[in-house]
């Protein structure tokens, strides 16, 4: 059962918190519990099958969402450092293969041509800028803004110096432009 099917069985739409998952599981267990259908063997069998699907979906999603919540909490506590991904759990006896549905921070799943991450949201390509924390990005913005302001101040000081030291350097071109537009204006009459 893939992740999307697990969400469908539990009647959930991602993203979902571990608490929402647990509440949906409890609700569905109460609705589909086989003891409610003890009077009808056919309905009881259907309820048992449905409850098996619900249990399988919950057992597949619960560790995934718990590990994602822990990773997100660790990431929010230390924004300047990337958290290490949690270890995947293996199922069965020691020496058995790792659970193929276990959490992997880089896992992507493809459904009908679109790629999704483990939490069910569409995956976005990672860029250098997206790997930086908000604090680091703000520091970069601050440095760039400071450099721009200093460059603007030095450019205005240089312009003021040139204007006071070499006034003819600026006045002659301005005078020529004025004469050109004046003659052009007079030529209309």
Report the distance separating Cα 9 and Cα 32, nearest Å: 12
Report the distance separating Cα 23 and Cα 163, nearest Å: 75
Q: What pTM was estimated for this model as a whole?
A: 0.39
pLDDT tens-digit readout, 31-77: 888 888 888 888 888 888 888 888 888 888 787 777 777 777 776 66
pLDDT tens-digit readout, 99-139: 444 444 445 444 444 455 555 555 556 677 777 888 888 99
* Mean pLDDT value across residues 86-102: 46
Under the banding of pLDDT at 50, 70 and 90, the label for residue 92 is very low
Report the distance separating Cα 83 and Cα 131, nearest Å: 12
Report the distance separating Cα 88 and Cα 90, nearest Å: 7
> How confident is the model at residue 176, as a pLDDT?
92
Strands 114-117 and 108-111: antiparallel
Say which residue, 117 or 141, is predicted with more confidence. Answer: 141
Residue 116 φ/ψ, nearest 5 degrees = -125, 150
Locate tokens 């600026």: which residue? Answer: 170
Report the distance separating Cα 154 and Cα 160, nearest Å: 10
Token couple for 21: 């998952």
Percent of the chain scoring above 70 in pLDDT:
71
Report the distance separating Cα 47 and Cα 36, nearest Å: 9
Token couple for 138: 């703000």
> How confident is the model at residue 103, as a pLDDT?
47
pLDDT tens-digit readout, 174-185: 899 999 999 988
């Amino acid at each position: 059962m893939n992740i999307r099917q697990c969400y469908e069985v539990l009647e959930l739409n991602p993203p979902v918190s571990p608490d929402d998952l647990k509440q949906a599981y409890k609700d569905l267990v109460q609705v589909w519990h086989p003891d409610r259908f003890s009077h009808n063997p056919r309905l009881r069998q259907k309820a048992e099958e449905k409850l098996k699907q619900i249990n399988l979906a919950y057992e597949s999603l619960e560790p995934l969402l718990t590990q994602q919540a822990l990773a997100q909490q660790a990431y929010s506590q230390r924004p300047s450092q990337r958290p290490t991904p949690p270890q995947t759990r293996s199922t069965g006896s020691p020496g058995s293969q790792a659970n193929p549905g276990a959490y992997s921070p880089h896992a992507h799943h493809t459904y009908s041509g679109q790629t999704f991450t483990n939490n069910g949201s569409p995956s976005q390509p990672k860029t250098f800028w997206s790997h930086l924390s908000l604090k680091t990005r703000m520091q970069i913005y601050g440095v760039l803004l400071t450099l721009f302001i200093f460059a603007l101040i030095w450019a205005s000081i240089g312009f003021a110096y040139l204007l006071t030291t070499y006034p003819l350097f600026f006045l002659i071109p301005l005078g020529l432009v004025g004469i050109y537009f004046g003659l052009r204006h007079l030529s209309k009459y």
